[in-house]
Amino acid sequence: MSTATATHDEHHDHGPAKGLMRWVTTTNHKDIGTLYLLFALVMFFIGGAMAMVIRAELFQPGMQVVDPQFFNSMTTVHALVMIFGAVMPAFTGLANWLIPMMIGAPDMALPRMNNFSFWILPFAFSLLLSTFFMNGGGPAGGWTIYPPLSLQMGDGFPFMIFAIHLAGISSIMGSINIVVTILNMRAPGMTLMKMPLFVWTWLITAYLLIATMPVLAGAVTMLLTDKFAGTSFFSAAGGGDPVMYQHIFWFFGHPEVYILILPAFGIVSAIVPTFARKPLFGYSSMVYATASIAFLSFIVWAHHMFTVGMPVVGELFFMYATMMIAVPTGVKVFNWVSTMWKGSMTFETPMLFAVGFIIMFTIGGFSGLMLAIAPADFQYHDTYFVVAHFHYVLVTGAVYSIMAAAYYWLPKWTGNMYDEKLGKMHFWISTVSVNVLFFPQHFLGLAGMPRRIPDYSVQFTDWNVISSIGGFVFGASQLMFAYLVYKTIRGGEKATDQVWEGAHGLEWTLPSPPPYHSFTEAPEVK
Amino acid sequence: MATGLQRRNDRSFVKIALVAIAMFGFGYLLVPLYDVFCEITGLNGKTGRIDEAEIAARYQPDMTRLVTVQFIANNNLGMPWEFGPGVESMQVHPGKVYATSFKARNPTGHDMVGQAVPSVAPTKASRYFNKTECFCFNQQPLAAGESKDMPLRFIVDPNLPGDVQTLTLAYTVFDVTQVAMK
């Protein structure tokens, strides 16, 4: 490959600068993608450590390890860190690395802004985590920060709000960059309906982010002025309404859960065809299904608040609208299964994670359908059943897809093959332990164990012990992943350009590792 | 990079950034929209307000029907006032104005200001419950140890759906001393 020589020439102005400042001032999409992914990995372990505290406390009934206030701040910050610090930056990192390579562009459209949108994040999360050292401790009112409870937080309150503002600004800027890149930077011949599904799902995700993140920013700004400026948006005494916060929050919050899963759909749609050695079944139906899910996500928000006292008509509307989402999601699952049908399948680690995603995400989808049934939700609401549901879609869904993506593209990024044996071990230990961790929580929830409470009745003990053991094993097994990534970056068997026998797409035509600027000359798109 | 592409990218950036800013505004727009929606549908148990002078022109008293109106009083967390209805329930004819009162006492050693917030159940009846005079229209100051009879005049709309035989009017009193003293 002739372009590869340019990267080895340090004096060439297209090569990376040296030292630490390379990473601070970089405007290169690959450098920024790497920064995002490493940041997400660090946050994954910080949020994971908080989950370990939660599972340690719930290992036995009664109060053992931490006091209730700290326990509540663990559940709250675990969620905030995992959603805004781990999963979203990981997807943005993947987008940065892959979208220019997939559409035949030299870099992202707005490289300077790309640098800003990453470097805001470390500040945002330093602000958030610094609240633990303040008078009153970290946020403990749940990640949804419902008033009036959230307004009782101590000195850290404005720090948490500003952390959310900053993280929001970061992801809005990242999304704008992605939309502009996809719309303006495609190689000639790369029509919209030829784009890989990862690019499609990210395009739609970026629009969701641009439409909803500012609404969250507005909601938390209202909280801020309610606390400090004497407004009463959510204070009944001043003519406001705390339930209105829930409506505004979930107007953001429901599209947010699709922000956390649509890029995962794109990743799985890239991996399954490669290892089934067949083209993706129903490409255009996948695109339309993604778009329908995005549209529906705006009209289902109140299913998070069935128990606030809505009229029956409202309950019915949100129940049916929610159930309707199962249709496009089902289209996707059937398409993946049809892609595998009669394919020559092999099960390298990325494929294992992708198949694990399809099976376990579907389990999470089904428990979601159960929660969508408004009358039944009165029993499930705020129990461990909800916790089990969203961890199946977020851990074995979103996180599994990110793991799959890391294994799938790591050889392309680093030029080295990862340790397949270690990867498979990571998959199997994770998959067994994650089910030991979360499956019993379905039973706990159906039996009535409430979420966000540090203590429980003794009849819940057995399943909690099992769940905690699964949690510790799952947490520990992620260290294998960190080690594997480190080992792959350091060296290993050299990867070919195509890496995987069945891989198709522009990124696989580049050398491994790809040159610093992906396509300085637009590739030919067939 | 071609400057034409650069310009196109910048233009796209501005357009999409404007959408983001507009959505921030939309978040705030949801507040009045929410209030209007609740007012039209009567969700949230918000009650109506009416001028006593308008009543004769709008409503004919329905002397054939009797509806029970129950009164409930609650204190918000941390509000020390003794607060309760003068009578627990009344039998009323729709279309006719009735008067009652709530009693409040400030048992603390300092002056306070309270704000009562009403809610009517069932919610579908809340649109038909109108007040001509209510202590909830204003903040109520009470000096240390002072007690007060707070008047309420109301009328039930004769168009109240036939299956509603009982209305419950609940007040929650909030401590707004801090805000009111500013």
Q: Give the side-chain half-sphere CA count within 13 A for B51.
A: 3
pLDDT at B141 over 80: yes
Bridge-based pairing state of the strands B140-142 and B112-121: antiparallel
Residues in B touching A314 (Cβ below 8 Å): 43
User: In this predicted structure, what is the pLDDT of residue B124?
Assistant: 80
Would you tell me how many other CB atoms lie within 10 Å of the CB of residue A9?
A: 10
Please report, for the domain that includes residue B165, its CATH number: 2.60.370.10
Residues in B touching A29 (Cβ below 8 Å): none
pLDDT interval class at B136 (50, 70, 90)? confident
Instruction: Give mean pLDDT, residues B54-76.
Output: 86
Residue A479: both structure tokens together: 């260290």
- Mean model confidence pLDDT for chain B: 87
Are B122 and B167 part of one and the same domain? yes
User: In this predicted structure, what is the pLDDT of residue A460?
Assistant: 97
CA distances from A140 to A72, A73, A160, B24, B128 (A): 5, 4, 11, 26, 41
- Report how far residue A286's alpha carbon sits from residue B105's, in angstroms, rounded to the nearest whole number: 65
User: In this predicted structure, what is the pLDDT of residue A323?
Assistant: 96
Are B49 and B105 part of one and the same domain? yes
Q: What is the pLDDT of residues A389-445, one digit of tens each?
A: 999 999 999 999 999 999 999 999 999 999 999 999 999 999 999 999 999 999 999
Residue of A386, A381, A460, A448 whose CA lies nearest to A62:
A460
User: In this predicted structure, what is the pLDDT of residue A1?
Assistant: 36
* H or E stretch covering A248: helix A242-259
- Report how far residue A10's alpha carbon sits from residue A246's, in angstroms, rounded to the nearest whole number: 54
Are B30 and B97 part of one and the same domain? no
- Please say whether the beta carbons of B175 and B107 come within 8 A: no
Q: Give the side-chain half-sphere CA count within 13 A for A62.
A: 2
Are B61 and B118 part of one and the same domain? yes
Are B24 and B49 part of one and the same domain? no
Residues in A touching B36 (Cβ below 8 Å): none
Domain containing residue B4: 1-41
Interface of A with B (CB under 8 A): 106, 109-110, 113, 172, 176, 179-180, 183-185, 210-219, 222, 230, 232-233, 235-239, 241, 243-244, 247-248, 251, 309-311, 314
**Which of the residues in chain A have pLDDT under 50?**
1-12
Are B20 and B79 part of one and the same domain? no
State how many domains chain B has.
2
How close, in Å, is residue B75 to chain A by CA atoms?
11
CA distances from A260 to A100, A209, A372, A400 (A): 21, 10, 19, 12
Residue A407: both structure tokens together: 């294994």
Higher pLDDT, B59 or A232: A232
Are B163 and B87 part of one and the same domain? yes
Are B110 and B147 part of one and the same domain? yes
- Report how far residue B2's alpha carbon sits from residue A356's, in angstroms, rounded to the nearest whole number: 44
User: In this predicted structure, what is the pLDDT of residue A9?
Assistant: 41
Are B59 and B116 part of one and the same domain? yes
Are B98 and B110 part of one and the same domain? yes
User: In this predicted structure, what is the pLDDT of residue A5?
Assistant: 41
pLDDT at B128 over 90: no
Q: Which of A170, A414, A512, A518 is catalytic?
A: A170
Are B10 and B34 part of one and the same domain? yes
Q: What is the 3-state secondary structure (H, E, C) of A6-30?
A: HHHCCCCCCCCCCCHHHHHHCCCHH
ipTM over 0.90: no
Residues in A touching B1 (Cβ below 8 Å): 106
Are B76 and B8 part of one and the same domain? no
AA letter at A126: S
In DSSP notation, A163-182 reads: HHHHHHHHHHHHHHHHHHHH
**A269 in active site:** yes
pLDDT at B42 over 70: no
**CB-CB under 8 Å, B5 with A217:** no
